[in-house]
């Protein structure tokens, strides 16, 4: 059974200033999504499912349905703010999606096999898909042996502003102990800091962080649903509160309902958090094409 790739593409790109999911960064107009799907196909994934914001659905499908036809099975689901349990009213001024955990929940009815989760605007690298695909193909749908691909914090920073990262701790068996969300992480003269209540705190640049590259089985959908019901009951009237995947992962680790293997990869991550990241990303893709990691025209 081939695993599925679930791509979270419903973000509004507030820091980026536009819809970066479809931004052209490859020599033939490819987006980062194109390279993610291409790498997933090479790694043995059999289907890709996109979680979209309703405001971009039409434009997105017009691009990717014909582009991927005949190359991999595709599915599309919407992340809508109103998609919450019945009987709960949310703040009518809310425009921000409910977060990555809620986004994954939207795919429950279209994914029936072990699956990977990624961000639409992150480049994870060819080897990372192979490592996670190999792991997922060993699982049955009912297992709760999950995984994540970890990256070095210092290799995931932006030169143009702060970032938020899930900093991971693992045991001697390579199993995740917890993920702590750190915000406003910056590189200052070669040293890395995060913000703690407005105070800058030093952090090891070699720390392993989660870049939202997870491996789950369909069992995870039930666990998400349970924790989201608790979250939404407490946060329905908040304008910005988000239900993140690491929140659920930490709960599962604490309750011993699941294990999360921290997988190692030789892949290099990069992404586009800010507009100024785009030229850097274009150059990195160009270098990969020159090294024959990718063809100049990805889908020709």
Assigned domain for 160 exists: no
Q: Provide, for the chain, the percentages of residues in helix, strand and coil under a 3-state DSSP scheme, each rounded to the nearest 5.
A: 30, 25, 40
pLDDT band with cut points at 50, 70 and 90 for residue 20: low
Residue 240 domain boundaries: 4-150+210-249+259-290
Rounded to the nearest 10 degrees, what angle do helices 126-136 and 32-43 cross at? Answer: 50
Mean pLDDT of 187-215: 93
Assigned domain for 93 exists: yes
Q: Which residues of 168-187 are buried (b: 16+ CB within 10 A; e: fewer)?
A: bebeeeeebeebeebeebbb
Percent of the chain with pLDDT over 70: 97
pLDDT band with cut points at 50, 70 and 90 for residue 17: very low
pTM for the full predicted model: 0.93
Encoded tokens for 153: 């914090």
- Sequence-distant (6+) residues with CB within 8 A of 187 are 154, 157, 159, 205
DSSP state of 175: B
pLDDT of residue 21: 72
User: In the chain, where do the E strands start and end?
Assistant: 4-9, 47-52, 73-78, 115-119, 122-123, 145-152, 163-170, 176-188, 191-196, 199-203, 208-216, 259-263, 270-271
**How much is the mean pLDDT over the chain?**
94
pLDDT of residue 22: 82
pLDDT band with cut points at 50, 70 and 90 for residue 255: very high
List the beta bridge partners of residue 235: none
More confident residue, 1 or 83: 83
pLDDT of residue 34: 97
Report the DSSP pairing between strands 145-152 and 208-216.
antiparallel
Q: Is residue 120 predicted with pLDDT exceeding 70?
A: yes
Task: Give the model confidence (pLDDT) of 140-194 as tens digits.
Answer: 999 999 999 999 999 899 989 999 899 999 999 999 999 998 989 999 988 999 9
Task: Give the model confidence (pLDDT) of 235-252 as tens digits.
Answer: 999 999 999 999 999 999
Assigned domain for 199 exists: no
Encoded tokens for 114: 């072990």
Helix (H, G, I), strand (E, B) or coil at 222: helix
List the beta bridge partners of residue 6: 49, 117
Assigned domain for 177 exists: no
Assigned domain for 162 exists: no
CA angle at residue 56 from 54 to 59, to 5 degrees? Answer: 130
Asked if 65 and 21 count as a contact pair (C-beta separation under 8 A), the reply is no
Percent of the chain with pLDDT over 90: 85
Assigned domain for 274 exists: yes
pLDDT of residue 273: 81
Domain count, the chain: 1
pLDDT of residue 16: 44
What is the CATH number for 274?
3.90.550.10
Assigned domain for 90 exists: yes
Assigned domain for 11 exists: yes
Closest CA to 94 of 299, 245, 243: 243
| Helices assigned H by DSSP within 236-276 | 245-255
């Amino acid at each position: 059974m081939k695993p599925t790739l679930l791509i979270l593409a419903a973000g509004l790109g507030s820091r980026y200033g536009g819809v970066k999911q479809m931004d052209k960064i490859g020599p033939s107009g490819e987006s980062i999504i194109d390279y993610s799907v291409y790498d997933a196909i090479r790694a043995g994934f059999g289907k890709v499912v996109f979680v979209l914001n309703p405001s971009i659905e039409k434009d997105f499908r017009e691009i990717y349905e014909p582009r991927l036809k005949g190359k991999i099975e595709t599915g599309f689901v919407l992340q809508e703010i109103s998609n919450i349990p019945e009987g709960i009213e949310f703040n009518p001024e809310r425009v921000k999606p409910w977060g990555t955990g809620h986004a994954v929940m939207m795919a429950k009815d279209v994914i029936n096999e072990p699956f990977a989760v990624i961000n639409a605007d992150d480049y994870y690298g060819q080897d990372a898909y192979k490592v996670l695909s190999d792991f997922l193909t060993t699982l049955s749908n009912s297992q709760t042996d999950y995984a994540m691909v970890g990256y070095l914090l210092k290799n995931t920073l932006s030169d143009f502003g702060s970032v938020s990262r899930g900093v991971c701790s693992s045991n001697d068996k390579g199993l995740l102990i917890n993920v702590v969300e750190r915000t406003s992480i910056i590189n200052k003269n070669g040293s890395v800091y995060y913000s703690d209540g407005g105070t800058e705190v030093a952090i090891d640049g070699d720390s392993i962080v989660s870049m939202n590259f997870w491996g789950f089985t369909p069992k995870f959908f039930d666990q998400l649903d349970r924790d989201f019901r608790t979250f939404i009951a407490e946060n329905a009237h908040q304008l910005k509160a988000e239900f993140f995947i690491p929140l659920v992962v930490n709960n599962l680790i604490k309750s011993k309902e699941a294990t999360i293997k921290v997988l190692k990869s030789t892949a290099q991550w990069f992404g586009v958090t800010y507009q100024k990241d785009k030229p850097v990303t274009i150059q990195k893709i160009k270098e990969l094409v020159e090294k024959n990691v990718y063809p100049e025209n990805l889908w020709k």
